[in-house]
Chains A and B, each alone.
Chain A
């Protein structure tokens, strides 16, 4: 589909996030344990038991286990995991919909875990907002009043909040549906309302909890594109939860992979595909077409003896898929350059092997 656009978006936002001066969100040693005496399990060796064993022994479930990460301003940070991996609990801890058992969540220099309830409400009304898997729209309110809800509970006057609601309605392409009720809209349109509602307060951070899982595949793709566009236009920091690795790869500047409540790997999509940290990660990156994620720089190899490199040179950041035609057309492995430095060569065999999956 619209490849150039995708690449532009990717190119615009792939800074080196870890180098960013002040992270918007910093999560330190976050735990969430459900069950009796949850505190006891934090940091204890018992927490490493298997879930069923832990459950029979203590009656507890560790949903989030010692999670630490930073999210830079403007970054799209994706948390990916299978169901039951704790990702939904994690995002709820970040917004205090669920109170964490231990740990800190810094949001713009303020520890969310420690703030009082009225300050928390203020933050929720102004600083961050959330999009939900099942939309969470209020069925008894029209689209416009759904979108204006956060402004309403913050005490904004009716015309002020409606004016703002109309702005975001235009932003997500919902014009003409202002007076409809949620149940009159299709799922995709409902989630647009959810997005608009989250954007209405002009938050610094947007949390999206599997926002597209409940949608049909085609609509899901549209919505993913929509999120990319919004991110490009608005530059919001986003924490995006998904169980779909392809979606994670497509949207994330960085991806955190969760398993049994803990993060097993954090990295750019390319890092994760190229260097899966263990078999678990490798196992489900297998279905991702590596040529769509990996860049030439990652798969470049030194020129073999007796091999003749072609004249053609491509930048190391080029995605393999985009370089395929050039490589196949060249009369030998092409050269990969990063600025002026030569990173190695990539030949037709390398590309074919990558595409056929033998590379891993």
Chain B
């Protein structure tokens, strides 16, 4: 029995609930968008400039015109470019690029392999060294040896430069709040900046080639290094620091004797992450002339040679695993050494000496014996692997094409087109207002304000319609990523077996260059917006699965036990305990998913997604559209900031029961 007053009360509570408000708003939006369909959509043909893109185009022309004369270039940019080129080329001269007239670089493949194995052995242990050797041999038999070493040289060079800048800055940011506050906007921006967006501006200043590729890689990896290093310093337990201060340490003593040694593990983890980030970027940087594995990967897309692309992709994954294990093992190693007996230590010393001698022998052999200098052709199975991979992909695309085309059309008609209709085919002001109001409801007043300002900015620079086309795809891809991520993440979080089975897939998914799956995706879905969504899902899902699985695993066991003993079914435990309790992780996952999806928006331009991604690509190849490309890059960044703001504050601001009822605060 409910009295009228109760009923009214219930309605009010219902309106107070956020999701009810959101649903109502979306319904209103949909009705208005349908009524006002096609009015003031600001749609613009690709070839048309706006005042802003024209300005940018002029600017690029001016920059290009000044590259040989302006003092800024002569005394700043050009020396930087020459210096970095020289640095990278000196590494490549040792392992991957023979001097003119020479057959091999400083040493042949056997020597290089032995040196790498020795370094890994010396910094970790024999087992890791063996694993790394095996992985490199894998790259070798795939016929990717020179490419692999070029990538390695680029990666190591970029990492060395990144660390030289990132570690001191990270330590400084860890020590000083002011420095952290100064760096934070840059770090935040770097996190949401899609990688492909800054290739063009960099190439404009530092030209196509090794230097631009290295700098772009550094732009990508330095923030990661700074972030983790600063975190390493900041998250140290307070009491040893206090104790060391109380014993009269100077700040320098505190840093060198206490903070850095204590933060060592995390800092090395930072180096590990920096390295992997650099590797993944060096592959992409093939677009602006980076040598290495990225080349066959990018070429594969262009000449539609699935096999070669997959082989190169596999080599990238092998190299990534190698770098990951080598740096991780270095951390574990120092702890292992502590537990070694004197006997073990002596054995290790002997082992190192033997390995050193073997390495010298290998280097000599690789300089004098043809088989050790140049990879023998009969070892190369890359072509066969490529052909097999190509056949498999062809089989899949011909036989699954039926189903995928159906899926593609179904999703496009029932979801994508209506969403795009609301966002892109409605008057721009309606969309700006609605998104901003939604942002304010979900993320708070600041998020709403950010949305209004930045969306208006996109309108002003003239890329509104393309941005909304992109947004529709990003939203849909994020939803799919979240569904996939939550399902797999919950499975992995609940079962170690599932987790172990998924791990290699996730590892590969996170390191495989997105270009590798473009061709199969194209073959399956054709040049459609859905193909671009599929790419985004592939790219972002591993991260989301990881984050969600971590969250589910992090739910205290007592909570689950309590729920079990209260008689919950498994579904109830998942939906009523594990998912709500890992809400923070879910929000983080959504945020990450969004950012990762956004990062491959540009890639979507290669498979018919249109929108901003296509503009970025077209701007890179057509000088007359350079301004549009740069503006599209900017629009992606602005859109990214808006989405990030909403998702991030959405994760933070929602009050939990505890916050609401906590007494006395």
- Interface residue ranges, A against B (CB under 8 Å): 52, 95, 97, 120-126, 129-130, 132-141, 149-150, 152-154, 181, 194, 197, 201
Are B242 and A129 in contact, CB atoms less than 8 angstroms apart?
A: no
User: Which residue of A122, A123, A138, A194 is within 8 Å of B244 (Cβ)?
Assistant: A138
Are A130 and B261 in contact, CB atoms less than 8 angstroms apart?
A: no
**Between-chain CB contacts (< 8 Å), 27 pairs:** A97-B242, A97-B245, A121-B248, A121-B249, A121-B250, A122-B248, A124-B245, A124-B247, A125-B247, A125-B248, A126-B248, A130-B246, A132-B242, A135-B239, A136-B241, A136-B242, A136-B244, A137-B243, A138-B257, A140-B264, A149-B247, A150-B247, A150-B248, A153-B248, A153-B253, A194-B243, A197-B243
List residues of chain A with CB within 8 A of the CB of B257: 138, 149, 152-153
CB nearest neighbor in B for A149: B247
Interface centre among A136, A138, A139, A154 (most CB of B within 10 A): A136
Q: Decide: A133 near B239, CB < 8 A? Known: A138-B262, A153-B257, A181-B338.
A: yes
A-contacting residues, B213-235, CB 8 Å: none
7 additional contacts, CB 8 Å, given A138-B258, A138-B262?
A97-B242, A120-B248, A121-B248, A130-B246, A134-B239, A136-B241, A150-B247
List residues of chain A with CB within 8 A of the CB of B18: none
Q: How far is the CB of B268 from chain A (nearest CB, A)?
A: 13
Are B664 and A132 in contact, CB atoms less than 8 angstroms apart?
A: no
Interchain residue pairs A-B with the least CB separation, the first 9:
A136-B243, A124-B248, A125-B248, A136-B239, A150-B247, A134-B239, A140-B261, A121-B248, A130-B246
Are A153 and B239 in contact, CB atoms less than 8 angstroms apart?
A: no
CB nearest neighbor in A for B247: A150
Q: How far is the CB of A337 from chain B (nearest CB, A)?
A: 48
Give Cα distance in the complex from A138 to B264, angstroms: 13
Give Cα distance in the complex from A152 to B258, angstroms: 12
CB nearest neighbor in A for B665: A52
List residues of chain A with CB within 8 A of the CB of B338: 181
The SS class assigned to the B binding surface is helix
A-contacting residues, B61-75, CB 8 Å: none
Whether B237 is near chain A, meaning CB under 8 Å from some CB there, is yes
Give Cα distance in the complex from A129 to B338, angstroms: 30
Whether B86 is near chain A, meaning CB under 8 Å from some CB there, is no
Give Cα distance in the complex from A134 to B242, angstroms: 10
Are A129 and B250 in contact, CB atoms less than 8 angstroms apart?
A: no
List residues of chain A with CB within 8 A of the CB of B243: 130, 132, 135-138, 194, 197
Whether B351 is near chain A, meaning CB under 8 Å from some CB there, is no
Q: How far is the CB of B311 from chain A (nearest CB, A)?
A: 44
Q: Decide: A149 near B244, CB < 8 A? Known: A121-B250, A140-B262.
A: yes
Are A129 and B240 in contact, CB atoms less than 8 angstroms apart?
A: no
List residues of chain A with CB within 8 A of the CB of B240: 136-139
User: Which residue of B249, B261, B262, B664 is within 8 Å of A153 (Cβ)?
Assistant: B249
List residues of chain B with CB within 8 A of the CB of A197: 243, 247
A-B contact count (CB 8 A): 71
Are A154 and B258 in contact, CB atoms less than 8 angstroms apart?
A: no
Give Cα distance in the complex from A152 to B250, angstroms: 12
List residues of chain A with CB within 8 A of the CB of B261: 138, 140-141
Q: How far is the CB of A206 from chain B (nearest CB, A)?
A: 11
List residues of chain B with CB within 8 A of the CB of A52: 664
Q: How far is the CB of A83 from chain B (nearest CB, A)?
A: 14
List residues of chain A with CB within 8 A of the CB of B250: 121, 153
Are A129 and B247 in contact, CB atoms less than 8 angstroms apart?
A: yes
User: Which residue of B245, B247, B262, B664 is within 8 Å of A139 (Cβ)?
Assistant: B262
Give Cα distance in the complex from A150 to B262, angstroms: 17
List residues of chain B with CB within 8 A of the CB of A150: 247-248
Give Cα distance in the complex from A154 to B250, angstroms: 10
Q: How far is the CB of A335 from chain B (nearest CB, A)?
A: 51
CB nearest neighbor in B for A131: B243
Q: How far is the CB of B359 from chain A (nearest CB, A)?
A: 31
Interface residues as binary, B12-39 with A (CB distance below 8 Å gives 1, 0 otherwise): 0000000000000000000000000000
CB nearest neighbor in B for A135: B239
Give Cα distance in the complex from A153 to B249, angstroms: 6
List residues of chain B with CB within 8 A of the CB of A133: 239
Are A132 and B248 in contact, CB atoms less than 8 angstroms apart?
A: no
CB nearest neighbor in A for B241: A136
Give Cα distance in the complex from A122 to B248, angstroms: 7
CB nearest neighbor in A for B254: A153
List residues of chain A with CB within 8 A of the CB of B253: 153
Q: How far is the CB of A204 from chain B (nearest CB, A)?
A: 14
Q: How far is the CB of A352 from chain B (nearest CB, A)?
A: 42
Interface residues as binary, B464-485 with A (CB distance below 8 Å gives 1, 0 otherwise): 0000000000000000000000
CB nearest neighbor in B for A52: B664
Q: How far is the CB of B340 from chain A (nearest CB, A)?
A: 13
List residues of chain B with CB within 8 A of the CB of A97: 242, 245-246
List residues of chain B with CB within 8 A of the CB of A154: 248
Q: How far is the CB of B281 from chain A (nearest CB, A)?
A: 33
Give Cα distance in the complex from A135 to B240, angstroms: 7
A-contacting residues, B649-665, CB 8 Å: 664
CB nearest neighbor in B for A121: B248
Give Cα distance in the complex from A150 to B257, angstroms: 11
Give Cα distance in the complex from A97 to B244, angstroms: 11
Give Cα distance in the complex from A201 to B664, angstroms: 44
CB nearest neighbor in B for A98: B242
Give Cα distance in the complex from A95 to B237, angstroms: 20
Give Cα distance in the complex from A139 to B249, angstroms: 17
Are A124 and B246 in contact, CB atoms less than 8 angstroms apart?
A: yes
List residues of chain B with CB within 8 A of the CB of A141: 261
Give Cα distance in the complex from A254 to B7, angstroms: 66
CB nearest neighbor in A for B258: A138
Q: How far is the CB of B166 from chain A (nearest CB, A)?
A: 22
CB nearest neighbor in B for A127: B248
Give Cα distance in the complex from A121 to B246, angstroms: 8
Give Cα distance in the complex from A95 to B249, angstroms: 13
Give Cα distance in the complex from A75 to B564, angstroms: 57
Q: How far is the CB of A121 from chain B (nearest CB, A)?
A: 4
Give Cα distance in the complex from A38 to B246, angstroms: 24
CB nearest neighbor in A for B664: A52
List residues of chain A with CB within 8 A of the CB of B245: 97, 124
Q: How far is the CB of B267 from chain A (nearest CB, A)?
A: 12
Give Cα distance in the complex from A320 to B638, angstroms: 79
Are A134 and B248 in contact, CB atoms less than 8 angstroms apart?
A: no
Give Cα distance in the complex from A153 to B264, angstroms: 20
Give Cα distance in the complex from A41 to B598, angstroms: 51
Give Cα distance in the complex from A254 to B151, angstroms: 71
Give Cα distance in the complex from A69 to B314, angstroms: 73
Give Cα distance in the complex from A133 to B239, angstroms: 8
